[in-house]
Amino acid sequence: MIDSHAHLNFPNFQKDLTEVLERAKQNGVDFIINIGADYKSSQIAINMAQDYEGLFATVGFHPESLNEEKFNSRLLEDLIGQPKVVAVGECGLDYFRIKPNDFAAQKLQQEIFIAQIELAKKFNLPLVLHCRANQKEQNSPYEQMLQILKKENVKRGVFHCFSGDWRLAKEFIELGFCIGLTGIITFPNYRHVDLLKNIPLDNVLIETDCPFLAPQSVRGQRNEPAFVKHIAEHLANIKNINMEEVDRITTQNTKKLFNI
């Protein structure tokens, strides 16, 4: 099994990384992709990938990292050239904490997103997309993201932590993107069971997004890669197939996308 989106590079795992990796292994997780969200976390993900065999890294600048530091394409570019970097991201649009009519903030996020698309093209790497609307779902960042991807003519990547409906998922799949499913699909208030039923497994990656979003059966705990099995299990139940099948196909999809 592969955890296709983890943040073992975040401070939450500083004290017990060895134990966390051991539990992942015991639970059948052979590969973990640690996702960069700013310069520091990207660098740590790269260092971890050098230290441990089954670990890989991505380099990216999350839109919310703008609250902490300025975007610098050059700095990212230096990191992308490092060994075991398998994608650019997470990057994208996050309007959750900005005002619905703050168009300047939206524009800045879009520019930074496009700069990272350029980097992905330059290094011929897939993208790890992050997208989140504000509570009122105004100024849909999803539509804006689709437009940007079409205009930039990029077709390789994963829409991480997808929480939209099946109609929207289909638009990203048609463009060539995979859909990343997290523990939110196991929550009782998850609204898009029809997406889980309809989506072809060939388009799915599974991910924890740890330390966030622990699946329902372990909810409230710090999430970790060992828990990715709960997502595979849930998906298997909904699709009425066995978990090994979900594991086999999503593992294959992840290896193919990230070329590992």
Cβ proximity to Zn ion: between 62 and 192 the closer is 62
Interacting residues of 209 by C-beta distance below 8 A, sequence separation 6+: 5, 6, 7, 160, 161, 182, 183, 223
Q: What are phi and psi of 230, to 5 degrees?
A: -65, -30
Smaller CB distance to Zn ion: residue 35 or 199?
35
What is the closest distance, in whole angstroms, from the C-beta atom of residue 66 to Zn ion in the complex? Answer: 16
Q: What does DSSP say about strands 2-6 and 85-94: parallel, antiparallel, or unpaired?
A: unpaired
Task: Name 245's bridge partners.
Answer: none
Q: Looking at beta carbons only, is 40 or 239 nearer to Zn ion?
A: 40
Q: Which residues in 118-190 belong to E strands, given as ranges?
A: 127-132, 157-159, 178-181
Q: How far is the CB of 63 from Zn ion (least distance, A)?
A: 12
Facing residues of 206 across strands? 181
Query: What character string, x for contact with Zn ion (CB under 5 A) and - otherwise, covers 209-248?
Result: x---------------------------------------
Residue 26 or 43: which CB sits closer to Zn ion? 43
Binding to Zn ion, residues 76-95 (CB under 5 A): none
Inter-axis angle of helices 228-239 and 243-258, nearest 10: 120
Residues 184-213: x/- map of binding to Zn ion (CB under 5 A)?
Answer: -------------------------x----
CA angle 242, 244, 249 (to 5 degrees): 105
* Shortest Å distance, C-beta 33 to Zn ion: 10
Q: How many residues bind Zn ion (CB under 5 A)?
A: 1
Site residues (vs Zn ion, CB under 5 A): 209
